[in-house]
Amino acid sequence: MSKKATFLPLNLSLSPFLLLLLYLLTLSAVVVHGVQEKKILSVHNNIWSLTKSNEPSSSCLSHNLAKGRESSSTTLGMKHRGLCSGKTIDWGKKLRRALTLDNLRVQSLQLRIKSMSSTTTDSISETQLPLTSGVKLETLNYIITVELGGKNMTLIVDTGSDLTWVQCQPCKSCYNQQGPLYDPSVSSSYKTVLCNSSTCQDLVAATSNPDRCGGSNGVEKTSCDYVVSYGDGSYTRGDLGSESIQLGDTKVENFVFGCGRSNKGLFGGASGLMGLGRSSVSLVYQTMKTFNGVFSYCLPSLEDGASGSLSFGDYKNSTSVSYTPLVQNLQLRSFYILNLTGATIGGVELESPSFGRGIIIDSGTVITRLPPSIYKAVKTEFLKQFTGFPSAPGYSILDTCFNLTSYQDVSIPTIKMIFQGNAVLEVDVSGVFYYVNPDASLVCLALASLSYENEVGIIGNYQQKNQRVVYDTKQEKLGIAGENCSI
């Protein structure tokens, strides 16, 4: 009883002090929370300050590392020969040009979306391939090297495309690529896909290519011709063939691909493109029995020149992956669509009527595009938290820009995208700002607004860096986990 009598007066007498203490603790918690929701960016520690690559050619050889992976998987550690070119690189010009090309790609995707919307087991293996930034090949997309008919081919990885293709001999019109063109005449495993085959008809259905089996001038067509246009003036024309393709330690026979005889475009020095879309002609579908329709990638940061990885088959590691359902859309069945339910800037939740709508995740687009209402909320909150830095004029599609030349390290708010099922993509610190000028005199928030609210948003590869993104087409889900992608 005496304990109770002593205890109560003490509480009452100290209550003003306790209230003050609680108030101070609350303020302290807010400060700590703010620190947790920001990251440090080293402004001048990036590849853009480099002008040359002078690595010896021996360092560009491909190696099978297979480090720390299960026996059924393969990891190749290598660098593309473009890293050894020693050419002088104007990064400022390249980065500014990349924005223009990216805008053309997105315009093309939006037109394609509108067009599409208006129309109505064996043992599973795992293979990993090195996934390298394409900046040395004059593209901000990501590249891998595979063996096609025993020859190394460097391909741009694109989840927004279906058909895999390479430049082929004889070539009527080809862009300059690093390394020799694929020559089907010297491969014993190459086969021509006939025009009247079911494979050719699958191409017609998947890519909206016209059926050209009728021929001309009374001569019946035997080869299966294709045309793929990318909207930015880039295209590939040729004929379908089948060939063995080596993905790490896994060899796939009779892989159907495009043999490009007339190709033009902004593919840098790559040999061609790897289509990882969802149609029947994509690599994902063609290897369904081998890899169970599962692939994942971890995109390395552009700034450090590191290699990431592209994996086929169930990805097994210690990282906890959170999953979100893939949205089913029959009109847009070639794309991977997620339900974006929310976003936070520095821990502050944003509001927009466009949350809860579908957004495409795409490895071929660079800068993320958001519906105007979401972008406005992101920009407003970001500017509230990123204060005291000199502003700079916008450039191209980017309108939230700064001059950071006099700063070494800056604290920037975190950016998180939240999807159905509470899967979260926290943008890596290297994916928040885009360097329009390599000297940091023009650094912009690496997000852009769509023109109209009813256009479909796109999550670009710039915001996917240092994330393990798992595509499970059989289970119809996509997984996300933060991961250091450098290998």
Q: Select from 163, 105, 119, 189 the least CA-distant residue to 461.
A: 105
Q: Tokens for 386?
A: 């990123």
With the C-alpha atoms ordered 14, 18, 24, 25, is the resulting torsion angle positive or negative? Answer: positive
User: Is 225 among the residues known to form the active site?
Assistant: no
Q: Omega into 170 within 30° of 0, i.e. cis? A: yes
User: Is 362 among the residues known to form the active site?
Assistant: yes
Kindly list the distances between the CA atom of residue 67 and the CA atoms of 70, 271, 291, 422, in Å, as whole numbers in the listed order.
9, 28, 20, 32
Rounded distance between C-alpha atoms, residue 17 and residue 21, angstroms = 6
- Among the listed residues 102, 202, 225, 362, the single catalytic one is 362
Q: Which residues lie closer than 8 Å to 414 by C-beta, 6 or more apart?
A: 37, 38, 39, 344, 345, 346, 347, 426, 427
Q: Which residues lie closer than 8 Å to 97 by C-beta, 6 or more apart?
A: none
- Among the listed residues 158, 225, 428, 472, the single catalytic one is 158
Q: Phi then psi for 3, rounded to 5 degrees?
A: -65, -40
Rounded distance between C-alpha atoms, residue 467 and residue 482, angstroms = 4
Which amino acid, residue 452?
Y
- H-helix or E-strand containing 145? strand 142-148
Q: Select from 384, 388, 390 the least CA-distant residue to 413.
A: 384
Cβ(256)–Cβ(282) below 8 Å? no
Q: Tokens for 354?
A: 């466009």
Q: Tokens for 439?
A: 């000297």
Which amino acid, residue 192?
T
- Which residues are the active-site residues? 158, 362
